[in-house]
């Protein structure tokens, strides 16, 4: 056993010490993030493109690296230049470890982290470098924990194929689609024609299974404005935070979770991240439904070293999530052989054709529809991400029916510029015994308006001293 192996328990211990120290300094949100399951942690800035192992690091001070490999050496960083060189090399070694890990070379990854940690131990503490040293120490410790956690949760599944299984769990979901959910299945299948072909093309281009293009059938029924109890929105049912993480913008004017193309791109990015975590599509889809942290906790609670089979922990998932993958397989089974399961699949809806024009100012869709002589809801259907049924004040690529772009641009200056109505409200401090219904009655408004302006969910309880916004009468 060499000195680097002896360092590893120190690294693990330091992680817990760092977590404790960071929790005391950071906000509750940041502390919660740092204490999340190691397998769920993803670095925001990925490593550089992989290079041959022998050419990865151009060491500025080879003596420093040699010191980490010779347990008898006592080289120290005596000057400011030495200190920075040690820290820079430790950072490079950490990045190299990430590259090794992505190539499944666990031994080399851990070796690189060992060397990086040994380097920072040789850096003396002072006011100028303490923070940088502690940041590196924490990063290295966290990476080691992630790597060991990944050994217990990742399997090598096929990246471009979803294994078809028709077991008792799947048969139960097929029976549901054949009976109580038959109309839902047929209506969702018909709506899929508007979006699924483009989804399949995007998945194929990304190297992912095309079968994933059927996932919105169980997510949203291919309804563009489907909204769940957990505030998940759109065809792929993104909650706001996950949508934001994968690049879906949401502001007063637009919600890109409702855009079929943009939300599909975000779903593809999420699938790739989850597959890197878990390695098989059954677990990936379970995590897509209830979150990678929840699935990771269930896997670790099994106290096994390797996740061989999704059905091993199927029963321990939340009921909705446990049904999710069998339900998806049931959809694929019916689609692949509809006659065998008693289905005659109807003709699909066709995608809406369009062309795009650039609009530079806020104009209501209804005003544009009247000017173009088209149905009022046609522009809304083509541009579902517009929350106010109006273009925003910035440059926006608006979809219009084919052949209508030039006519719209020619008449655009004659259309009125639209300004959204402002919400007027008063701030109320909640007193003992007050409820939403009492406050709505007192201020002559409605419960729904109070809930909307405060972004409350149904069943929200008020707390004494809480400040809430109350819309005044006749305000929007």
What CATH number has the domain bearing residue 218?
1.10.530.10
> Which is nearest to 114 in space by CA: 147, 141, 88, 133?
141
- Distance of alpha carbon 137 from alpha carbon 127, whole angstroms: 16
**pLDDT per position as a tens digit, 137-193:** 777 877 777 766 555 444 444 456 788 889 888 999 999 999 999 999 999 999 999
176 and 322 in a common domain: yes
Find the Cα–Cα–Cα–Cα dihedral 229, 233, 238, 240, rounded to 10°: -90
Greater confidence, 291 or 250? 250
Task: Report how far apart the first and last C-alpha atoms of the chain are (Å, whole number).
Answer: 72
290 and 363 in a common domain: no
- Distance of alpha carbon 422 from alpha carbon 344, whole angstroms: 51
318 and 292 in a common domain: yes
28 in a domain, yes or no? yes
- Distance of alpha carbon 245 from alpha carbon 442, whole angstroms: 41
The tokens describing 150, both together, are: 């990944």
443 and 407 in a common domain: no
Q: If you average pLDDT over residues 19-25, what whole number do you get?
A: 42
Q: If you average pLDDT over residues 4-28, what whole number do you get?
A: 45
CATH number reported for the structural domain that contains residue 466 in this entry: 3.10.350.10
193 and 73 in a common domain: no
Average pLDDT value over all residues in the chain:
78
26 in a domain, yes or no? yes
Q: In this model, does residue 427 exceed pLDDT 90?
A: no
206 in a domain, yes or no? yes
Q: Which of 60-69, 123-132, 381-390 has the lowest mean pLDDT?
A: 60-69
pTM of the predicted protein model: 0.60
386 and 327 in a common domain: no
**pLDDT per position as a tens digit, 217-257:** 999 999 999 988 777 899 999 988 889 889 999 888 999 99
Given 153, 188, 210, which residue is the final one in a domain? 153
Q: Are 189 and 217 in contact (CB under 8 A)?
A: yes
Q: In this model, does residue 335 exceed pLDDT 90?
A: yes
250 and 191 in a common domain: yes
28 and 130 in a common domain: yes
pLDDT in the model for residue 172: 94
pLDDT in the model for residue 123: 80
**pLDDT per position as a tens digit, 352-363:** 999 999 999 999
| Structural domain harbouring 57 | 3-153
Given 130, 153, 176, which residue is the final one in a domain? 153
Given 309, 341, 373, which residue is the final one in a domain? 341
278 and 178 in a common domain: yes
Number of structural domains found in the chain = 4
300 in a domain, yes or no? yes
158 in a domain, yes or no? no
The tokens describing 117, both together, are: 């940690």
Catalytic residue among 92, 111, 219, 378: 219
> Which is nearest to 271 in space by CA: 236, 227, 233, 239?
236
Crossing angle of helices 106-121 and 80-102, in 10° steps, is 170
Q: In this model, does residue 25 exceed pLDDT 60?
A: no
Q: If you average pLDDT over residues 449-471, what whole number do you get?
A: 83
> Which is nearest to 284 in space by CA: 442, 202, 162, 197?
162
Greater confidence, 115 or 342? 342
132 and 268 in a common domain: no
pLDDT in the model for residue 80: 66
392 and 307 in a common domain: no
Instruction: Name the β-bridge partners of 356.
Output: 399
Query: Catalytic annotation on 292?
Result: no
350 in a domain, yes or no? no
**pLDDT per position as a tens digit, 252-281:** 899 999 999 999 999 999 999 999 888 888
Give the single-character DSSP code of 254.
Answer: B
181 and 107 in a common domain: no
- Distance of alpha carbon 128 from alpha carbon 126, whole angstroms: 6
348 in a domain, yes or no? no
Q: In this model, does residue 423 exceed pLDDT 80?
A: no
């Amino acid at each position: 056993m060499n000195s680097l192996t002896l360092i590893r328990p120190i690294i693990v211990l330091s992680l817990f010490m760092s977590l404790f120290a960071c929790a005391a300094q950071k906000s509750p949100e940041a502390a919660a993030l740092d204490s999340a399951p190691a397998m769920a942690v993803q670095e925001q800035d990925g490593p550089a493109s992989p290079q041959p192992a022998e050419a990865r690091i151009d060491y500025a001070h080879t003596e420093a690296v040699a010191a980490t490999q010779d347990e008898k050496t006592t080289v120290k960083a005596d000057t400011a230049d030495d200190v920075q060189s040690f820290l820079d090399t430790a950072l490079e070694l950490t990045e190299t470890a990430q590259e090794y890990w992505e190539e499944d070379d666990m031994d080399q990854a851990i070796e690189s982290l060992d060397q990086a940690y040994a380097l920072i131990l040789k850096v003396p503490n002072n006011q100028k470098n303490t923070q940088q040293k502690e940041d590196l120490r924490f990063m290295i410790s966290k990476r080691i924990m992630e790597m060991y956690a990944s050994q217990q949760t990742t399997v090598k599944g096929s990246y471009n194929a979803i294994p078809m299984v028709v077991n008792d769990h799947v048969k139960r979901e097929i029976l549901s689609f054949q009976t109580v959910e038959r109309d839902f299945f047929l209506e969702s299948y018909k709506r899929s024609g508007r979006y699924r072909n483009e989804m399949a093309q995007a998945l194929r281009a990304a190297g992912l299974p095309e079968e994933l293009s059927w996932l919105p059938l169980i997510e949203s029924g291919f309804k563009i404005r489907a909204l769940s109890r957990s505030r998940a929105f759109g065809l792929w049912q993104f909650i706001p935070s996950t949508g934001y993480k994968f690049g879906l913008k949401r502001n007063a004017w637009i919600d890109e979770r409702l855009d079929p193309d943009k939300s599909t791109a975000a779903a593809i990015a999420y699938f790739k991240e989850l597959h890197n975590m878990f390695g098989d599509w059954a677990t990936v889809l379970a995590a897509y439904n209830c979150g990678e942290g929840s699935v990771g906790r269930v896997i670790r609670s099994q106290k096994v070293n390797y996740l061989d089979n999704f059905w091993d922990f199927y029963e321990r998932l939340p009921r909705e999530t446990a049904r999710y993958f069998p339900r998806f397989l049931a959809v694929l089974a019916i689609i692949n052989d509809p006659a065998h399961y008693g289905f005659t699949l109807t003709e699909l809806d066709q995608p809406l054709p369009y062309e795009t024009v650039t609009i530079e100012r806020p104009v209501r869709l209804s005003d544009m529809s009247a000017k173009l002589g088209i149905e009022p809801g046609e522009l809304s259907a083509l541009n579902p991400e517009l929350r106010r049924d109006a273009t925003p004040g910035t440059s926006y690529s608006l979809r219009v029916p084919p052949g209508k772009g030039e006519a719209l641009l020619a008449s655009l200056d004659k259309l009125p510029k639209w300004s959204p109505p402002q919400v007027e409200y008063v701030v109320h401090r909640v007193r003992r015994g007050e409820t939403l219904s009492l406050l709505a009655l007192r201020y002559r408004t409605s419960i729904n308006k109070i809930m909307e302006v405060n972004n409350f969910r149904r069943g929200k309880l008020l707390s004494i001293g809480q400040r809430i916004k109350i819309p005044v009468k006749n305000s929007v």
